[in-house]
Amino acid sequence: MDPALKIVIVDENPVRAAILVDGLREAGYTHVTRIEETTNLLARIYNLDPDVILIDLENPSRDVLAQMFQVSRVVKRPIAMFVDQSDSASIEAAVDAGVSAYIVDGLKKERIKGILDLCISRFNAFTRLTNELERAQTALSERKVIDRAKGILMKTKAISEADAYALLRKTAMNENKKIAEIAQAIVTAAGLLK
């Protein structure tokens, strides 16, 4: 537990918000801010720059879920949403919006710490997976460009694939660039010369 975490609570209902605030304070969290209304929510959350966002809604509307989608994409923080009632479409929309924990009828102050820990852990795991996926996609994209550049070099210089790769590698080292950057330059130049 990190008591220095900045936590934002989004809740229009003061009684419900008090349960969250009390649960967080009892768990040792001191940096808790409440946003009382959802107008301009993205700007308000962005300005506060919290570590975690807790949203307490009786019944989430499409507009609120759309705002959550914006918040999760821009702010990229763990989000836990507390709702009184739900259906599978709302749950799916909340997950698509980037909510890390979706708790139905579970607003009890003694559960807040466990839910917060789960929310942060799930967000961190999802972030690691997303980063891993992005690295894999980048590597695949670079591999495709390198293969295209090798093909261009093989055709224009009448050399083998190994020699084309060696030429790319040597040029990258001489210019202190990545092989993918040199390959992209070759593909771009070849496209201009067609």
Q: What is the pLDDT of residues 160-179, one digit of tens each?
A: 999 999 999 999 999 999 99
Q: What is the pLDDT of residues 13-66, one digit of tens each?
A: 888 888 889 989 988 898 999 998 777 878 888 889 899 998 887 666 667 667
Q: How confident is the model at residue 81 (pLDDT cuts 50, 70, 90)?
A: confident
Q: What is the pLDDT of residues 109-122, one digit of tens each?
A: 888 888 888 999 99
Q: How confident is the model at residue 1 (pLDDT cuts 50, 70, 90)?
A: low
> Residues of the chain with pLDDT > 70: what percent?
95
Beta-sheet strands, E only, within 17-166: 31-35, 52-57, 79-83, 101-104
Cβ atoms of residues 56 and 16 within 8 Å: yes
Q: Which two tokens stand for residue 123?
A: 């967000």
Q: How far apart are CA 165 and CA 144, in angstroms?
A: 13
What predicted TM-score, i.e. pTM, was given to this entire model? 0.71
Segment 126-154 shows an average pLDDT of: 95
pLDDT of residue 104: 84
pLDDT for residue 180 is more than 90: yes
Domains and CATH numbers, the chain: 6-107 (3.40.50.2300), 136-193 (1.10.10.10)
**Segment (H or E) for 10:** strand 6-10
Cβ atoms of residues 116 and 27 within 8 Å: yes
Q: Which two tokens stand for residue 177?
A: 């660039």
